[in-house]
Chains A and B, each alone.
Chain A
């Protein structure tokens, strides 16, 4: 187990190193001068030259790369050109919205998907199953921003239960959670639809396994068999999807953040791209790569924890 962990950590480090090289090369070394790109077509040559010095572009690429990586390792993500603020600080502020939002949405999607998937699988072919399958079809087909707009129309404009957008900060946690609720629901519904489908089909497969019949032969009721023997095995593919979804939710919420005027990471990247703030783009992209790789590692470790057969390998 320790050897496995060490091996995985080595792989993680190598992946991060490779990602950092790719990101750096694409943004800073590839043809085209970052400074003139950032300042636009009409910039004066001396402004561009000044920015080049400020960005350190007069230094050789290798030295710049190590300075960038070294800075990140110390927690220094550079200085945003547009906002004149440390990127690390900006990311930390935005993460206060994005991280809770992603976890909130993930939690909701699991809360919806688990019962839906279980009910569908255990009532296969009957009305409950058909309803779940129909609903998940809809959930997968309809884009989340459209859900978002419907939610705003109904719960914010018509019923006035929630605000239509904005984020008041965490000084009042309840209010903060309330303002994240509609976006979390909009994000969670399509994810829940996918999760419920995966759980349904994996549970149907597992319930046909021989060891389920053995459990019944021991005297376990259908329900006990499901909870003690069926669910754990069926959750493994669900875990895979969950890992992928978290990575997506963390930064993929750009449109939802836009609809609800939330100051999240997705919006930060979006703004940085439109304002050509390459420092921000570069560091935040690297940070997201880091998050995705770590989440993948955690998913894999969860597999090993769940399935004793994997521990032997």
Chain B
């Protein structure tokens, strides 16, 4: 694919004169005494896709909100944000109301919460048309139906009369996109539009955005942390770090040159594969046989819909010392299966035993520990880290005070924190550090099986690389058996020996990780691998004039 210099506008850029669609110059932003943005400069031409990339907290979303005029009340901005030559920053809210939705459309990260749960989707799209006086009620509803169809929602299956809760995440994101493009805005801002979506849905949504940009000649500011997405969809790229743009240029150029060390670091982290020592598998540790977890179907009138099988006859064996990955999209049953393995779900059929004992019994509980996705929600904020880390000891015989403090110190040191951290509260730690604490908590009682449930999904790419290294190192050092659950294939690749692919409650493919990646057998595995955005490893950095 040719990504050098504007794939949509290369031909007609000259005819559009010099003034860019969006011209952000010297934009600085403070909230209280905190500097959020520092001298940000960006330009975007009509029909162009500019990716704004960087890690969380780098100021990407604040740049978008500043452009929308939707900054928090406490924020003060200086500089200029010119849309088609007019500076938006000094405009009063009333003037921005007229521009938002009409000249600038915005798509948000979280489709699950971005729609009003009380209104029909058709009404929500029609509202954009009506608020700007483009159409009256009846016409707006007709227009909304057309827009929803245009974003790929088949009116026969998803009519405009549906409510958001009746739609999947990808379908909701299409509704949000329909609202954003309703007035054919000149500028579309998409803030991590696919981060919350599955890989196959992500591909569809990104293709949809590409097509809309091309058809309507919009300029799109695509905010994403995912360099693979950037490489495949953006004409140009701006790399942001701590509120400043450190590097900008044509996508292929920036990825090849990587003038700024931060760009280099981001790219390295994206390709990072932890070093995993070859496995020394022993006898079977966890054996699941024909596991069924079903829920009664929804009540329709006085009847019941057929039961829903979240896990549908799954059998798997994990040998001692083996590192197994479990991948699949949301709703495929992998979380339910995980909870079943932890003994937290009643089963309607089959058995799960750990070393001969059924899971869920006290002796198995202390031999299994889990690390979960959310580094923010999985700790009690009132307790100090020492207490949080030593929690699993209530499953074993708790050691005396001095040995307990030793154990806590050892566990924290092992995950790269210091023993003094035991006295601090959890809010003092970043997402990556919290995940280290979660790992320390899981390993402190030396379990035999550790389950990592989307354990790095919420982390930035560089932090993720370091946590994956840590996991690889610890599993090797302690000869741990691990089950690594993720929707992200690239994550599982580096830390597992064997891979299971799950779809609709069943395991559709399993095999050594390397061979599943190299030669997938099942169509669904192929689909997953195809849909995942790929980042070609650029050649080693060259001298600029070479």
Interface set of A (CB-CB < 8 Å, partner B): 2-3, 209-211, 213-222, 224, 228-229, 232-233, 306-309, 312-313
Contact = CB atoms under 8 A, between A and B. Distances in A.
Interface stretch (B27-35, B98-106, B497-505): B98-106
A222 B100 CA distance: 13
A219 B176 contact: no
B100 A217 contact: yes
A233 B114 contact: no
B110 interface: yes
Interface stretch (B115-123, B199-207, B267-275, B434-442): B115-123
B117 to A, nearest CB: 6
A219 B179 contact: no
A306 B132 contact: no
Interface in B66-109: 68, 70, 93-94, 97-102, 105-106, 108
Interface in B413-432: none
B165 interface: yes
A308 B70 contact: no
A211 B117 contact: yes
A214 B114 contact: yes
Contacts of A3: 299, 301-302
B100 A307 contact: no
Contact of A308 (B101, B118, B302): B118
Contact of A218 (B94, B100, B113, B117): B100
A300 B128 CA distance: 32
B292 interface: no
Given A219-B100, A220-B97, A214 B176 contact: yes
A219 B128 contact: yes
A217 B132 contact: no
Given A3-B301, A233-B118, A309-B165, A217 B180 contact: yes
Given A217-B68, A218-B128, A219-B97, A211 B163 contact: no
B138 to A, nearest CB: 19
A232 B117 CA distance: 11
A228 B176 contact: no
B93 to A, nearest CB: 7
Interface of B: 68, 70, 93-94, 97-102, 105-106, 108, 110, 113-119, 127-128, 131-132, 163, 165-166, 176, 179-180, 298-299, 301-302
Given A219-B131, A309-B163, A214 B108 contact: yes
A224 B93 contact: no
A219 B98 contact: yes
A221 B117 contact: no
Contacts of B179: 214, 218
A233 B119 CA distance: 10
Contacts of B70: 213, 216-217
29 contacts: A209-B113, A210-B108, A210-B113, A211-B113, A213-B70, A213-B114, A214-B108, A214-B116, A216-B70, A216-B100, A217-B100, A218-B101, A218-B128, A218-B131, A218-B179, A219-B97, A219-B98, A219-B128, A220-B97, A220-B131, A221-B94, A224-B131, A229-B119, A232-B118, A306-B118, A307-B118, A308-B165, A309-B163, A309-B165
A308 B116 CA distance: 11
Contacts of B163: 308-309
A229 B116 contact: yes
Contacts of A220: 97, 101, 127, 131
Contacts of B301: 2-3
Contacts of B131: 218-220, 224
Nearest to B131: A219
Nearest to A308: B163
Given A218-B100, A219-B100, A210 B110 contact: yes
Contacts of A213: 70, 108, 114
Contacts of B117: 211, 233, 307-309
Nearest to B104: A217
A300 to B, nearest CB: 17
B98 to A, nearest CB: 7
Contacts of A309: 117, 163, 165
Contacts of A229: 116, 118-119
Given A3-B299, A218-B100, A222-B93, A210 B118 contact: no
A215 to B, nearest CB: 7
Nearest to B189: A217
A127 to B, nearest CB: 15
A211 B115 contact: yes
A218 B101 CA distance: 4
Nearest to B125: A218
Given A3-B302, A228-B127, A215 B116 contact: yes
Nearest to B68: A217
A307 B163 CA distance: 10
A42 B167 CA distance: 74
Nearest to B176: A214
Given A3-B301, A218-B131, 18 more contacts: A3-B302, A211-B116, A214-B108, A214-B114, A214-B116, A214-B179, A215-B116, A216-B70, A217-B105, A218-B100, A219-B100, A233-B116, A233-B118, A307-B118, A308-B165, A309-B163, A309-B165, A312-B165
Contacts of B98: 219
B93 A221 contact: yes
A228 B127 CA distance: 10
Q: Point out which of A3, A228, A308, A313 has the most chain B C-beta atoms below 10 A from its C-beta.
A: A308
Nearest to B105: A217
B122 to A, nearest CB: 13
Nearest to A309: B165
A126 to B, nearest CB: 11
Contact of B115 (A214, A306, A307): A214
A215 B68 CA distance: 12
A221 B97 contact: yes
A220 B118 CA distance: 17
A198 B87 CA distance: 41
A67 B114 CA distance: 58
A219 B100 CA distance: 5
Nearest to A221: B97
A50 B187 CA distance: 91
Q: Point out which of A209, A214, A220, A229 has the most chain B C-beta atoms below 10 A from its C-beta.
A: A214
A3 B166 CA distance: 20
A17 B161 CA distance: 41
Contacts of B108: 210, 213-214, 217
Contacts of B176: 214
B99 A219 contact: yes
A214 B113 CA distance: 9
